[in-house]
Amino acid sequence: MKKGGNSGKERLPETPAPSPADKELFRAALTDVIPITPHGCIVPAPTRPPPIPLSRMRDEREVIHESMHDPIRWDEATENGDELSFVRPGLSRLILRRLRRGEWVSQAELDLHGLNRLDAKIELANFLFECKRRGVRCIRIIHGKGLGSRNREPVLKLHVRHWLMQREEILAFVQARPIDGGGGAVMVLLKSNTQR
């Protein structure tokens, strides 16, 4: 019986230290091997930061620029005091009649009361973007009658209608019915998301 607390197991012979030639041969054999992380776990690739919405930022800058340099084009209907309406060229004027009658139900509305021209244009652009994203077709924009403005003129009314005519997603608009705000609001029909 052996002493020394080996509990009956034979001791293995010690392996000799590798020679420099053996070390070099070992390194050459492992040139294509990729070492794993020290803890043995795979570390996932770092998450990418969210993309920067450059096109939206550019659009917002253009909106601000346009609002600073936005001449109103006066037309005969405005000068005569008639109700100003708009239908995109190539579309039936029947759309205007249906809008006037309230055949399309307003799905969203924006109230621009108390805003200056710059803030109103930014709010309108954001509102139209959100309506397009949600697939809203008919909206009501309340611009007021100008009773609280200097000279009691409807400044936003004319600007809103001009801005709407410039937007590609607007198919038509008319002055709202008296029950919907009359001369202080406009009913707008937007393109559907499937229309090009």
Structural domain that includes position 59: 55-190
> From CA 175, how far away is CA 157, in angstroms rounded?
10
In a domain, 32, yes or no: no
Could you report the per-residue pLDDT of 98-130, keeping only the tens digit for each?
A: 998 989 889 999 999 888 888 999 999 999 999
Does pLDDT of 68 surpass 60? no
In a domain, 165, yes or no: yes
Which DSSP string do the residues of 6-39 spell out, in sequence order? Answer: -TTPPPPPPPPPPPHHHHHHHHHHTTTPPPPPTT
What per-residue confidence (pLDDT) applies to 40? Answer: 63
CATH number, domain containing residue 99? 3.30.1370.110
**Residue 16 lies inside a defined structural domain of this protein:** no
pLDDT confidence bin for 37, thresholds 50/70/90: low
Tell if the pTM clears 0.85, that is, is over it. Answer: no
Residue 72 lies in a domain: yes
Kindly report the CA angle at 134 between 131 and 135, in degrees rounded to 5?
A: 85
CA angle 75, 78, 81 (to 5 degrees): 145
Residue 137 domain flag = yes
CB 155 within 8 A of CB 104: no
Residue 2 lies in a domain: no
Amino acid 34: pLDDT = 75
**Could you give the number of structural domains in the chain?**
1
Rounded Cα distance, 167 and 79, in Å: 23
* pLDDT tens digits along 130-181: 999 999 999 999 998 866 666 666 678 888 998 999 898 999 999 999 988 8
Q: Is residue 18 part of a domain?
A: no
Cα–Cα distance list, 127 to 12, 27, 45, 78, 90 (Å): 81, 65, 38, 25, 26
Q: Report if residue 80 sits inside a domain.
A: yes
pLDDT at 190: 94
Least confident range from 28-32, 90-94, 183-187: namely 28-32
Helix or strand holding residue 120 (H, E): helix 117-134
Mean pLDDT of the chain: 80
Tokens encoding 154: 């409807």
